[in-house]
Amino acid sequence: MNEHPSRLSTPDLRDECLDGAQCLFDAELHDGPDPEDRFEHPDARAAREDVAKDICATCPVQVACLEYAIRTKPTSGIWAGLTAKDVAQLHALRVERARLGDAYEEVA
Ligand code: SF4
């Protein structure tokens, strides 16, 4: 599953511990318009994403959302206040840290 929290069904939100997600009432704010339907100017996109990040900052499930994002590897949207690129970088750091941890245990 790689659905933004704003587009998940209630049972899926509960499964992912995302009950209380603050993005449910305007999915387009966090996930952007469907590019097939509408072009979004880069300035408009940046402004929209800033508002989405502000909402994430007050969201009670932000930590669970970040874990969900790292696991599902989004390609777009704002997740837990981060862009998909930010999430990918966190995922890569986590993988590298695990690899270094394994290497350390092998020599210890
Ligand atoms: S942190 Fe942001 S993207 Fe995640 S559930 Fe909350 S409002 Fe939605």
Helix (H) or strand (E) holding 78: strand 78-79
For residue range 6-47, list pLDDT tens digits in order.
999 999 999 999 999 999 989 899 999 888 888 999 999 999
- Please report where in the chains the tokens 């840290």 appear, as a residue: 97
pLDDT at 42: 94
Q: Which of 72, 79, 86 to mutate to test the pocket of ligand 1 (most atoms within 8 A of CB)?
A: 79
* Distance separating alpha carbons of residues 108 and 104, to the nearest angstrom: 6
- Please report where in the chains the tokens 């777009």 appear, as a residue: 76
pLDDT at 35: 80
Please state, for a pLDDT cut of 90, what percent of the chain lies above it. Answer: 78
From ligand 1's centre to the CA of 1, what distance in Å?
A: 16
**Helix, strand or coil for residue 83?**
strand
Of the candidates 75, 20, 101, 86, which has an alpha carbon nearest to the alpha carbon of residue 53?
A: 86
pLDDT at 36: 86
Using the predicted structure, report yes or no on whether residue 104 has a pLDDT greater than 90.
Answer: no
Task: Give yes or no for residue 59 CB within 6 A of ligand 1.
Answer: yes
pLDDT at 47: 97
pLDDT at 107: 78
Closest ligand 1 atom to residue 81 Cα is 2
Q: Which two tokens stand for residue 14?
A: 């509960």
Residue 56 in contact with residue 65, Cβ under 8 Å? yes
Closest ligand 1 atom to residue 21 Cα is 5
Task: Give yes or no for residue 82 CB within 6 A of ligand 1.
Answer: no
pLDDT at 1: 66
From ligand 1's centre to the CA of 55, what distance in Å?
A: 7
Provide the domain limits for residue 76: 5-107
Average pLDDT score over residue span 77-97: 96
Task: Give yes or no for residue 55 CB within 6 A of ligand 1.
Answer: yes
Instruction: Provide the domain count of the chain.
Output: 1
Of the candidates 83, 90, 22, which has an alpha carbon nearest to the alpha carbon of residue 50?
A: 83
